[in-house]
Amino acid sequence: MSRPARFVVGIDLGTTHCALARAPLDDDDGTPPAEVVAIAQLVGSGQIEARRLLPSFVYLPPEAEGSMPLPWDADREVAVGAYARRRAAETPGRVVASAKSWLCHPSLDRRAGVLPVAAPPDVDKLSPVEASFRFLEHLIEAYDHEYAATEGALTEQKVVITVPASFDAAARELTVEAALAAGIEDLTLLEEPQAALYAWLEAAGEGWRAQLAPGDVVLVVDIGGGTSDFSAIAVREEDGDLALERVAVGDHILLGGDNIDLALAHHVRQRLETEGHELDAWQMGALTHAARDAKETLLSAGERDRVPIVVPRRGAKLVGASIRTEVTREAVEALVLEGFFPVVDADARPAPRRRAGLTQVGLPFAQDPAVTRHLAAFLGRHGDEKASTSSGVQPTAVLYNGGVMRSETLRARLGAALDGWSDRADAPVRTLNGGDLDLAVARGAARYGHALATGRGIRIRGGTAQAYYVGIESAVPAVPGLEPPLSLMCVAPFGMEKGTSVALPAHPLAVVVGEPVRFRFFGSSVRRRDEAGTTLDRHAPEQVVELPPIEVTLSADDRADGDLVPVYLQAHITSAGVLQLDAVAVTPRRPDERWKIELSVREDGVAEGASGP
C-alpha cells in the first residue's frame, strides 16, 4: 500500500529548461512557500552537479563515447541537461532540442522518431513524446536520489505539470501520456501563465490585495525559449472579497528565444562570411547553439558587455583550429529590439509572408517575428465587456515571465508599448514584480497544487481556453459537387472548468455505428458568450477555427453496421483539460448505452476518438 503524499511537486516542463519545486502538505502554518529542488545532472565528462535548472536537451552519443554515468545509473546511454546542451554547440545532429515545440506540431506524428531532424544515419531518433518522457524520467530520478529514502518518491506525491495556455487538446494528452510512462499517476495540468501568477501571489502574500483591485486586468506575458504565451486575468469582487478569473488566452505562437538565437546566429554568420569564412549546415547548427549561450549572458543582468563565440571546423580538435568571433550587448539588444520588439501602433497585426510551394519538414514557426504585433493582435481581438473596452483587452497591470523577459531592456520596451496603446493615459500599466523568471512557473505549480489539495489559498478560475463546437451535418438530398451544409453546436463553452460536465439541450441527432466516420470539431478563443447548445449556422473563419478531425468507428454491438442511433450529447472536461463528448442512446439496448469520443492522437498524427460504453 502506497504512502500518502507528503508534498505537492510542481514541474515546469519547459522548451529550454525544466525546473522542480515542492510544497509540503502536512504543514500546519497554512501555505508554506514552495522550495526549488536542485537537479543533479551531468555537466561535463564524468562531472555531476546539482543545479536549479535542467536544460531541455537530450544528447545521443556515439557508441564509441561510452556511457553517460549518473549517480543512480552508471550505464546511462544518453545525457539530459547541461552536458547535453553543451554538446549541442559541438554536435548538433546528436542533440534533441525544442522537443516541447515539436510536441504541439499539428501535422506531425508526435510519437514517431523525428528528433534531431538533422541526425546522422547512425542515430536512433526520439519522438517528441519520448523526449518529454526523458526529461520527466531524469527529474523523477534526481528527486528520488535525494528524497525517496526519507520522504517518498516523486511518483508518490501530488504532481502538477505546466503546459502553455495555448496547448491544444492533443498536446495536453501527449504530455499526460509522457508523464504516465514515467510513472506519474496523480497528475494535474496547469497553464504556465497562471502558474506565473500563482508564484507572484505567493511572493506578495496578503499584500497582493493592496496591489490589485476589482476592475484590474493582469496581462501575463510569458516568452520562453519556443513560445510567446499571452493571458489576461481579471480581478473581480465576490461576496466582498477579491477573486481572479482568466478571461482570455492567446494563440499558440511559436516565437521566442529560439527565434532570437537563430537571428543572432545569422547576424554572426554574415559577419564571418565577409571575413572569408563559409559555414556549412552543421557549423550553422553549432553557431545557433553558441548564439543561445551568448544571448542569455548578454540579455541577463550582469557586467559582461561582450561574449566570445567559437565555431568548430569539421574534424578540428583544437580550439585554435576553430573560427572565433564575439558579440556585444549593444549589438544583441539592437537586433532584438528592432527585429522582435519594434515600436508599433495598437492596430498593428502580424504580417503574413508568401510562402514557397515546397518547404522542409519543420516547426510551424510564426511568420512575423515581431512580438509586439502579436501582442497587439491578442489585445485587440479579445473584447469583453467584463474585462475590456470595445477596442479590446485593456490591461492595468502586467506580469512578465520566461527567460527572454529577464532583460530589463525588453521589459521596458513592452511596458512603453502597453502604455502607448492604453486608453487610460493618466494611469500607466503597472508592472507586477515577481521573482526569478526561470523558476516562477515551477513555484507557481507547487502553490496551485497545494491550494487544490488543501482548499487553502486563492484559486484562479479559468477552465477551457476555447469554446468547443462539434459539426452537425444537415440531412439534405445529395447534390453533385455540393457538400451537405454543416452547422456548429457549442458543446463546451469558454471557461468550462476541469472535471465538470454539461448536458446539451435535446436536438434530433443520431450517430452512425459500425463503420468509419469522421467527427469535425472547432474551437474559438474569442466567442466567449456562447453557451452549451448554441448553434451556429454561419461563422466567421477568424473567429472559429477547425481542429484536426476525429476518425473513429463507433462499436455497433448488437446493432447493424451503418445503423443511425438517435442520441443526445453530454460533454465533459477531464482533469487534463481534454474534451470528452458522450453520445448517449435515447433508447438504450443496454444500461447506460453511450459512445465516448475524446481528443487524442493516432500514430499517424491525426486526431482520433476513443469510443466505447
Query: 427 is written with which cell numbers?
Result: 494611469
The closest alpha carbon to 363, from 92, 103, 15, 96, belongs to 103
Contact 522, 488 (CB under 8 A): yes
pLDDT at position 386, please? 42
Query: 38 is written with which cell numbers?
Result: 536542485
The closest alpha carbon to 348, from 383, 384, 375, belongs to 375
Q: Which residues pair with 331 in a beta bridge?
A: none
Residue type, 216: D
The closest alpha carbon to 407, from 326, 342, 337, belongs to 337
Ranges in the chain, pLDDT < 50: 1, 316, 318-319, 358-360, 384-391, 600-613
pLDDT at position 314, please? 67
Query: 105 is written with which cell numbers?
Result: 506540431
pLDDT at position 576, please? 61
Residue 106, burial from CB neighbour count under 10 angstroms (0-12, 13-18, 19+): middle
If residue 608 lies in a helix (H) or strand (E), which one and from where to where?
Answer: strand 607-608
Q: How many CB atoms lie within 10 A of CB 64?
A: 5
C-alpha dist (Å) from residue 563 to 179, 246, 569, 581:
39, 43, 18, 20
**How many whole angstroms separate alpha carbon 398 and alpha carbon 405?**
12
DSSP letter string over 246-259?
Answer: EEEE---B--SHHH
pLDDT at position 600, please? 47
> Locate cell 565555431: which residue?
311
Q: Would you say the pTM of this structure is higher than 0.85? A: no
C-alpha dist (Å) from residue 391 to 3, 347, 421:
53, 10, 10
**How many whole angstroms separate alpha carbon 419 and alpha carbon 422?**
5
The closest alpha carbon to 186, from 1, 447, 450, 5, belongs to 5
**How many whole angstroms separate alpha carbon 589 and alpha carbon 595?**
13
Judging by DSSP bridges, how do beta strands 39-44 and 35-37 pair with one another? unpaired
DSSP letter string over 297-348?
Answer: HHHSSSS--EEEEEEPPTT--SGGGSEEEEEEHHHHHHHHHHHHS----TT-
Q: How many CB atoms lie within 10 A of CB 121?
A: 4
**How many whole angstroms separate alpha carbon 442 and alpha carbon 36?**
8
> pLDDT (tens digit, 9 = 90+) per residue, 359-410?
445 666 788 999 999 999 999 987 543 444 444 689 999 999 998 898 888 9
> pLDDT (tens digit, 9 = 90+) per residue, 477-532?
656 766 778 889 999 898 888 788 988 887 778 889 999 988 888 888 888 889 99
**How many whole angstroms separate alpha carbon 81 and alpha carbon 419?**
39
The closest alpha carbon to 495, from 251, 233, 196, belongs to 233
DSSP letter string over 438-472?
Answer: TTHHHHHHHHHHHHHHHS-S--EE---SSEEEEEE
Distance between terminal CA atoms of the chain?
31
Q: Which residues pair with 235 in a beta bridge?
A: 244
C-alpha dist (Å) from residue 2 to 24, 107, 196:
18, 41, 32
Fill in the DSSP letter of residue 371: H
**How many whole angstroms separate alpha carbon 413 and alpha carbon 427?**
17
CA-based torsion, 592, 593, 599, 604: positive or negative: positive
The closest alpha carbon to 169, from 594, 611, 613, 574, belongs to 574
Per the document, the length of the chain is 613
**Per the omega criterion (within 30 degrees of 0), is the bond before 116 cis?**
yes
Give the 3-state secondary structure of 561-603: CCCEEEEEEEEEECCCCCEEEEEEECCCCCCCCEEEEECEECC
| Residues ≥6 apart with Cβ < 8 Å to 333 | 298, 299, 407, 409
Contact 53, 39 (CB under 8 A): yes
Query: 601 is written with which cell numbers?
Result: 492522437
pLDDT at position 604, please? 31
